[in-house]
Every structure is written in C-alpha cells, then in structure tokens.
Structure 1
Amino acid sequence: MSQTFDLFWSFRSPYSYLLTPRIVDLCRDHDVICNVRIVYPIAVRHADFFAQADPLWAPYLVKDTYRTAEFLGLPYRWPRPDPVVMDPATRTYPAAQPHIHRLSHLGVAAAEQGRGLAFIDQVSALIWNGHTDNWHEGNHLANAAARADLDLADLDAKIAADPAHYISQVETNQADQRKRGHYGVPLMVLNGEPFFGQDRFDQLKWRLEQKAVL
C-alpha cells in the first residue's frame, strides 16, 4: 500500500529547490506519494519579515545555500529575476507580486492534475540552477511545464477562469502548514509528524524505513 506524505513548498525557497531532486528519487524508487502543497514565501506573507531580521541572517543563508548545493552536486545561483519583487530602499515587499503569485497558482494547478512534484522539479530547476536568465520570459516556463507533461497555456487558462480558487488553495495550504507544526519550507509531514528543512530528509526516510515502506 502506498505511503503518502505532504510537502509544503515555495518557489522562492532555495532549500525547497535543493530538496526536490531527492523527493523525486524517493517517489520514483519506492511506493511513496508526495502530496505537493504550495505556499507563498514568508516575504509575501509577512512583507516586513526580512527588514526586521537579524543582519546575520541573509549572509549566512547565502553561504549555506551555496555550500549545500555544492555538497549535493546541484547547480545553483540566486534567480534572475528573483521570484519575489522587493523594494530595495525599505527591504519590504509590495503587494503586487507578478512572478510568485503566478508561479504559486501554477503549482496548485499542476498538483490538482496529479503532476505537482514533476512541475516543481522542472520549474525550480529552471529558476534556481543558474543556467537561465529571465526565466519568466519567452518559452522557458512553457518548456519546463512540458517536461512535466503539462501545458502551460492550459494551466494559465484554468487560473484565469477562477483565480479565487487558486488563492484559496494556497491560503488553505498555509493554514494547514501551521497546523502541522511549522511555518517554514520545505516542510515534509508524514502521518502528522513534521520534518522541517531539506536537512531532515534523511530522517523522513528513516521514519519510512521504520514503517517498512522503504
């Protein structure tokens, strides 16, 4: 019998990107199903979050994400453009967020078609692997969606027909994320037990082994 776990995940999170290939391998090699739950990044949920953060937070994030990518053998660079638009003068984030809102709603639409994991795998690589500037232009997103066996125009059309539904789904995911015990991403939840952070993946596997799933 398949074992399902929830994955609360954000397109702006480098750690979400760095985790995703391992989740893909896990689900490919074992009878495990990942239920992708897209959330908005903390910068969108709390626009002044980074303005109030300790000044050591951002430099360590940069060092750690590059180190983690090197350790995992994954290509990595901060996206160009950033999926979240920031006001550099105030280090706050305006309500209008054309990239992250579209990406998040596309992720929800893909998950509803049963292709959520494939979609976040392809699109996060496009955004974060450093090979593509202006990932939001031209055919880049359409090609990534196609690699996930999805049609970008079809996903966009579904969202345009009922935008409130996709906003509501993200908000539901965010509420459920907190109910599961954390607010950050990536958050894996197996049978109600939360595993926060890409560095908890091995503990998730250990728990699955205990349940004789792996």
Structure 2
Amino acid sequence: MAVLDIYWSFRSPYSYLAIDRLCHIAGTYDIETKFRPVRPLAMREPDFFERGRKQFVPYLMRDFPREAERLGLPFGLPQPDPIDMDMATGRVAADQPLMDRLMALGLAACEKGKGLDFAKAVSARVWTGKPWSDDAALDAAAAQAGLDLAELEAFARARKDEIAATIEANETGQLTHHWGVPLMVLDGEPFFGQDRLDSLVWRLDKLGLKRVDGGTQSD
C-alpha cells in the first residue's frame, strides 16, 4: 500500500489551510496516512526570525488571509500565539509551554489514530482567532475529534520520553525532503506547501489509488 507522510505544524497558517483537504485525501484514497506533527520553525530554528529576511512576516500576513479567502475558509490571528515570541525583534522565548502542550496532545491523538482529526479541530480554532489554549477549548476540540482531553493528557504525561523521540524522528524525516510545512511525502516523493495539494491529488489519481468504498483514514 502507498504511504503518505504528512509533516504539519500547529502554528503554520498554511498547515491550517491544508488540513481539510488533507483529511479528505486521507479518507478518499487507498493509502496509509502517517500524520507527523513537527514543532514550529520558531522552535526548530530559534534564531530564524532574528536573522531572516524582513519581508517574510509582512508577506505572510498578506498572503495567508488572501489564500484563506480564496479557499472560502474563515481566518483570524491566534489568540494567543502558540509561540512566545517578540514579533518586533523575532526573538523566541526559551520556554514554550503552549506549544509543548499542543505537541504532546497531538502526538497522543496520533497514537489513538486521530491525529489529523485533532489537528483539524485545534487549527480551526487557532487560525480563526477563537479561544483555543484553555482547558475548555481544548476539551471541545478533542471531543470534536472523537477524543477525551483527560485521556490525551494522561497519555502524554506517561509517555514523555516516547513523545520527545517521536518529535525528533518526525523532524529528522521532514528534513530529508524539505524544511517547511505542510509537507506531504508520497512513497518518497515530496510535495511542499498547501498549493501543491492539487499536484498530490494528480499523482494519486495517476497511480489509480482512489478508493471505491469510501474508506477511512489512518495516522
């Protein structure tokens, strides 16, 4: 069976723009989907925004709303930002409790076969300006994905070392092909960006992988 690896970030607006279509792809094609959350670039390369080009963030803030409007998706800035970062200087804080929690919950959801569903529910809150970081919001997101927040938290607490190792493995695998997200890798062939999902679908169709029974997704 063909394998589709999906490298995805909770802080990436483009990952949010892709998540509905990724869920559709996972449920439409006869593929094994492996959802692999990675930490945001601000954590993987803490000095990126300090040393990066000054045009990066202003362009992103113009392009993301435009793409969301084109795709017919609601959008808004995160409240709060999942990353503790000084947007004026690009300096990233050493401790990132919000993202650490999100990553742990996301990996726990993957273990229960609901990683994509959980990511969809959470990112729909993060990137539409809705409350997302408190227990009530995360509990609602987990329930939307068919999960229980308390169970996810318990799993994350009991498997800290395993989760850390999985995150490291995901990020190593990502860098084999690209540094950005969303990154989809179909049997070793990379497709980077939400604007390459049409190319991925084209490839899946060319390989004749569309399901005939509706199917279900996997993580």
Aligned partners of 1:119 and 1:144 also within 8 Å: yes
Normalised by the size of structure 1, how large is the TM-score?
A: 0.93
Shift of 1:72: 0.4
Greater shift in the superposed pair: 88-97 or 140-149: 88-97
Matched to 1:25, the amino acid is H
Aligned partners of 1:26 and 1:32 also within 8 Å: no
Q: Secondary structure at the match of 2:82?
A: coil
Of residues 155, 169, 173, the one that matches 1:172 is 169
Normalised by the size of structure 2, how large is the TM-score?
A: 0.91
Shift of 1:16: 0.3
Shift of 1:91: 2.0
> What are the residue-to-residue correspondences of 1:4-153 with 2, within 5 Å?
4-88=3-87, 90-130=89-129, 132-133=130-131, 135-153=132-150
Matched to 1:151, the amino acid is D
Query: Given the alignment of the two structures, is residue 203 of structure 1 paired with residue 208 of structure 2, yes or no?
Result: no
Matched to 1:63, the amino acid is R
Change in 2 beyond 3 A, CA 1:76/1:33 = farther
Q: Secondary structure at the match of 1:50?
A: helix
CA RMSD of aligned residues (A): 1.4
Shift of 1:78: 1.4
Aligned partners of 1:38 and 1:107 also within 8 Å: yes
Shift of 1:88: 4.9
Matched to 1:150, the amino acid is L
> What are the residue-to-residue correspondences of 1:184-199 with 2, within 5 Å?
184-199=180-195
Q: Secondary structure at the match of 2:161?
A: helix
Provide Cα deviations, 1:115-145, integer angstroms capped at 9, x if missing partner: 1111111111111123x13x21241111110
The higher relative CO (CA closer than 8 Å, separation ≥ 6) is in 2
Q: How many residues align?
A: 210
Matched to 2:133, the amino acid is H
Aligned partners of 2:29 and 2:204 also within 8 Å: no
Q: What is the alpha-carbon distance in structure 2 between the residues aligned to residue 55 and residue 89 of structure 1?
A: 10
Shift of 1:101: 1.0
Q: What is the alpha-carbon distance in structure 2 between the residues aligned to residue 105 and residue 39 of structure 1?
A: 11
Aligned partners of 1:4 and 1:34 also within 8 Å: yes
Q: What is the alpha-carbon distance in structure 1 between the residues aligned to residue 123 and residue 164 of structure 2?
A: 20
Matched to 2:171, the amino acid is Q
Shift of 1:89: 6.2
Q: Which consecutive unaligned segments of at least 5 residues does structure 1 have? A: none
